[in-house]
Amino acid sequence: MSSGTTQAAPNERRARTRKEIKQLIEERNSVLSQYYNLAKYTEEPDTDLSSTIELLEEFCQDLVDYMATGHFEIYRRIEDGNERRDEISTLAEKILPRINDTTQVAIAFNDLYDDTSNIESNAIDQLPNYLSKLGEELATRIDLEDQFINTLLTASNRPELTAVSA
């Protein structure tokens, strides 16, 4: 087996990890932008209900996509027990339960507001309160994700020791 073959797998994993992180951050930025637009819009007096519903639909879809990217692209290998780097596994044990909590809040928000065809006026009236709670959870999630991303990138940039290189 040539040394080029043994290096290909780690390099491919690093490239995939960077791509997944980039996708997560792009989706996060989109969600944050829509969140701020929706929050600002709901605070304005005499907001148009149809415009609010349109913003809400787009926001819910992007929110679900962002949550799914984190869980299915970034955190899945940890949850499946496929992470070999101790520092990442240790950090994941510490922060993944809290990240999962933020996901549950986002899912509850989505469940309440995703089906806008039968949305009740009470739900619209409560939107600023629910957005505030969701905003706090998103801030927590972003802080935890950034810790995780930084650890992933730092660990990914270190050369792996193998029997050949040791």
- Model confidence pLDDT, tens digit, residues 58-105: 999 999 999 999 988 888 888 888 888 889 989 999 999 999 999 999
Q: For residue 164, tell me if it sits in a domain.
A: no
Q: What is the 3-state secondary structure (H, E, C) of the chain?
A: CCHHHHHHHHHHHHHHHHHHHHHHHHHHHHHHHHHHHHHHHHHCCCCCHHHHHHHHHHHHHHHHHHHHHHHHHHCHHHHCCCCCCHHHHHHHHHHHHHHHHHHHHHHHHHHHHCCHHHCCHHHHHCHHHHHHHHHHHHHHHHHHHHHHHHHHHHHHHCCCCCCCCC
Output the domain CATH number for residue 150.
Answer: 1.20.120.1370
The parent domain of residue 90 ranges over: 3-157
Q: For residue 25, tell me if it sits in a domain.
A: yes
* Total structural domains within the chain: 1
Enter the pTM of the model. 0.83
pLDDT value for 165: 42
